[in-house]
Structure formats: structure tokens, C-alpha cells
Amino acid sequence: MTRPIVIAAGGTGGHFFPAEALATELASRGHDLVLMTDQRAGKRLSGLFKDRPQYVLDGAGVAGKGLSAKLRGVTALLRGAWAARSLHKQINPIAIIGFGGYPSVPPILGSRFTSGSKRPLVILHEGNAVLGQANALLARFATTIATSYPTVARLPLGLRTALTGMPVRPEIEALFDESYTPPGDAIHLLVWGGSLGARVFSTIVPEALALLPAGFRARLHVTQQVHEKDLADVRAAYEKAGIRCELAPFFTNIADQLKKAHLVIGRAGGSSVAELTISGRPSVLVPLPIAASDEQGANASQLVDEGGAWMFRQNTLTPESLSAFLGTLLNDPERLAAAAKAARAFARPRSARLLADLVEARISDYRSSTS
């Protein structure tokens, strides 16, 4: 009987989309796959895992929480790990691929409770330029950490690493060969901000664009990810400013939106930066300010250093500062084109294929060592 590969991922799309991209590549090579995820993500009703085994495990984040919340989180993770232990005995996986965040903890921790000959190998994928806390915890069990960035802070000394890049959805991958055209009469601005839209953008971006001259505003087409509670207010702000807009809590056609975007404003999560570089789109990045290790700041800094983006810290972002910056930038097509070129140069295309190659190589090593 073929031993399957467990994909351990959940939470937001930023963690799950790379996992699904890898799983799609592995499935095309004939591997059996199992998803272990968290209650927040739940069972997938569409996509690759819809018709494959899925298991939802207990778990909760502990970073940045108070003592009582940490204790509840640790208890939930241990319950999830114990449930994962029973699942591992049933399905006997050959490998677990963890994509960071607390959803990776129960499947991998649970695998350590199995006997040596049945214990699956562990490969971690780190999507940020700073090793996440979950991956830091799990690194002692891993044979390899695959990284998305050439330089990753806090990697354990002596642990085997491999630069594979961040797997992206196939429709995003297809944008790598699409050229960038600077704005002409129309300016397409894409604003995104995580799984539900960053609320700070719902206030500051409309106000910033409203400060631009009327002739400039008439050229703007804004596509913005907006929290459902803010939709009416944001739409009203754009209508008052005479700016055309398309607003939604989530866009299913994000590849189409990236393709037509002249500039992107958003957070600097690992998946977001990967999608920006694969599509070769210049961006204004505002790292999430509450991240414990400022991993988004580290992500943004690497792209800024390459000339592919500009960064604002959220505590310095005001309608006035953003408006002044955009008014200059969007009237400088050569500067935008240069940033687009630099962003694409920083990209690591075909990352799902590279990561799948790594997984197969480590499985081959594992089988040789246990035969």
C-alpha cells in the first residue's frame, strides 16, 4: 500500500494557497495526499482536496496572547496532536509537509508519538523572511526547511535548508510571462489586505485618493478588497470623490485584477509578495504592525531593497502622506516600469515544482535509510 503525504496547512489563504499549489503538483505526479487542517479553515468544499481525505484538528494560536489564552491554546494544540497521533496510525503517512502557523503543529507533533519505523519525515515550508514561531518550534523534527526568501532570519544552525520560493496558484504563475504596461489615460489601482481586507486601507486609501486633483481622480479605476462592514462607507467615499471603484470582501479573479493593475497597495505577507513578484507589479507595502516578529516588515524590506516596492509603516501612513506619494508616483511611468521589472527579477517562478522536487528527493532518501 502506498503511504500518503500529509499536507498540514490552514488558517488564511496566505497559508493555504501555497499548500494547495504544492499539493496540485504532487497530485499530478501520482502521489496520494491527505489534508490536515484547523477549524478556522474547515473542510475544503472545492479545489484539489474536495474529493480527498481531510481531517480537521483542534488548535489555536498562542503568540501575542495573554496567559489564560495561551493555556487554552496549548491545550487545544495538544488535543489536536493526540487526535493526529491516532490518524497517523491509521493512514501511515510517509511525509508531512507543514506550511507554518499553528495548524501545522498538531499533525507534526502528533507524528512524534509514533514508533521510529512508522514515523513520517517532516519538511517545513517558511513563507516569510523571518522564521515563524510555529516553524521555530517544529524545526527540531524537520529534515529540511524550504524557504521563500534568499535570507531568512532565525533559522536554526545546522538545519538543512533549500530555497524553493513560495508556491502560488497556477493562474498567478501564468502571469510571469505577462509584460507590464505603465498607466496611460487610465490608472488601475489594486488594494488588497489579507483574507478579509485590512480596515486601515478602507479609511486611509479613499481619503488619500480624494485629495488628488479632479483630473487625476477621473483617471483612476480602484479595485479594493474591503471588509463587508465597511463596503457602504468606502463606496460612498469613492462616489463622493468621483472615483470609479470595484469593491468586494474577496476576489476570486485575483489574477485578472493583478494583470490589469498598474500599482498594488497592500500588506506584505509572504504569499502577497510572491504574487506581486511573479506578476511583476510595483507595490506600496504596509506591513501588519501587530506581528510578533515583524515578518511582514522583513518581507517588504527585501523587495524594497531590490527596487520592486515602496514601504510605509502603518504608524506613518496618513491620507496626506499617501496622497502626496501617489500623486508623484502615478505620474512617473518610467519609475513604475522600473519597479515592475525589479519585482519580477526578484520572483522565483515554478516554486511548486521546485518544492515538489525537494519533497520527492527527501522521500527517496528516507526510503533508502529505512529499507
Q: What is the pLDDT of residues 69-97, one digit of tens each?
A: 768 777 888 898 999 999 999 999 999 99
Distance CA 81, CA 70 (A): 16
Name the pTM for this structure. 0.92
For residue 299, pLDDT beyond 90: yes
Most confident of 7-11, 57-61, 62-66, 220-224: 220-224
- Average pLDDT of span 21-28: 96
Is pLDDT above 70 for 1?
no
Over pLDDT 70: what percentage of the chain? 95
pLDDT, tens digit, 9 for 90 and up, residues 28-48? 999 999 999 988 777 887 889
* 194 phi, psi to nearest 5 deg: 90, -170
- Give 159's contacts (C-beta < 8 A, 6+ positions apart): 139, 142, 144, 145
pLDDT of 117 above 70: no
Per-residue DSSP letter, 155: P
Strand pairing report for 161-163 and 144-147: parallel
Residue-wise pLDDT for 204-234, tens only, equals 999 999 999 999 999 999 999 998 899 999 9
pLDDT at 253 over 70: yes
Average pLDDT over the chain, rounded to whole? 92
Task: Please state the rounded mean pLDDT for residues 314-340.
Answer: 96
